[in-house]
Structure 1
Amino acid sequence: MSQSSARVLVVEDDPSLQLMLRYNLEKLGYRAETVGDGEAALSALEDRRPDAVVLDWMLPGLSGLDVCRRIRANARLRDLPVLMLTARSDEQDGIRGLDGGADDYIVKPCSIETLDARLRAVLRRTQPGYDTLSFADLRLDPETHRVERAGRLLTLGPTEFKLLEFFMRHPRRVFSREDILQRLWGPNMHVELRTIDVHIRRLRRALNLADEPDYIRTVRVAGYALDDAP
């Protein structure tokens, strides 16, 4: 299973946070569904099992901890990954959440990058091969750092690997050099824009044999994209 096919149920009673979580998860490629309380969560789980649950602790009526315990008591759902998201920061609360059956525990507020990383971690543990990325005849495993094209094992440097992984998580989207620098190196690193062009050239050499199409598309003025359109 790839990240783009993972379905996540978000249980959060704050409408604005619910909307923000759904928007950001879908932007990352997840299929997100949201509900606002524990009873609605249990009903949604009975209707259709997701791949993971992001569960707020402080819910009206049935608490997130109670929902988690009911999930673990249900034979059909007991192995479902549950990530508890809450404003409760006391260490003992974290222990209670994990003892109640949560696979992980994140204190709000947290960045969407942190949530994404934790989700991918729990999905990898419960679904072997989950995070393997595919695009056309490319296949990339972030955990083993193995990259193949049409079954051929490729050798990439660490930066080229990060660049390809980034593109494969956001296929067909055009990113400027500034965007790529921000995403790969962060806002506090001083790297020249032309550095991106150097790594793009190296990535192309690693990916392409003479008779193979080049999936790294250069968009004049705008930047680069991973695209298999002719």
Structure 2
Amino acid sequence: MKRAQTGACMSDRPTIILAPFDADLASDLARRIPAARVGPLDAIAEATGPLWLFIDWLLPESSGLELCRRLRAEPRTADARIFLVIEDDDRETRRRALKAGADDYVLGPLTASAIAARVCEAAPLLPRADNVLAHGPLKLDREAYQVRAGGSPVPMRPNEFLLLAFFLENRDRVVSRRELIGALKGGDQVDERTVDVWIGRLRRALVSAKVSDPIRTVRQLGYVYDSF
């Protein structure tokens, strides 16, 4: 059973980047997820599939926040899935991590099991065959892992892509923040206010593509994706 689950979750063959690189951690991770490529920051140049980056809050020559900002500014890593490894699980630390461009955070010290859990829980939600969602000018293709508006590609990070897919499947229905966290497999570690950050990013992506904002906030309840 475990072997089958591992194979399924690795269908997207991600490259996992560790910053700083830890050879022992990489070796353990390679045993847990044999199909994954694991390497240091330099390995980004050779990556051909999805990128997963796990960045320590404190680095030898800079801060994880600074590195996260730089990576988000680079075309190759603008849409990568970035996790900041934090030591203190407090609201201000989480806020700074998300503001710097991280998709999420992981409590340190970082372990191979924690990385494997993050990669394998999200991989089944990435591209899926024969599943295209469309509404108005938007078309979301899970197989191609792409969103288009009026035929033009809409750049979108993994969390925003998954949020949009969930909204398109649940139009005209109030969904709570906790429900959205569950849809993204966020678990109990994700603060409900983190959803507001994800929603804000999704809205900006849609507006930048000249798509009118279809997401309506329902006070004390959550959000609705309106069909009209």
Pairwise same-fold verdict (TM > 0.5): no
Q: TM-score, normalised by structure 2?
A: 0.44
Structure number with greater Rg is 1
Q: TM-score, normalised by structure 1?
A: 0.43
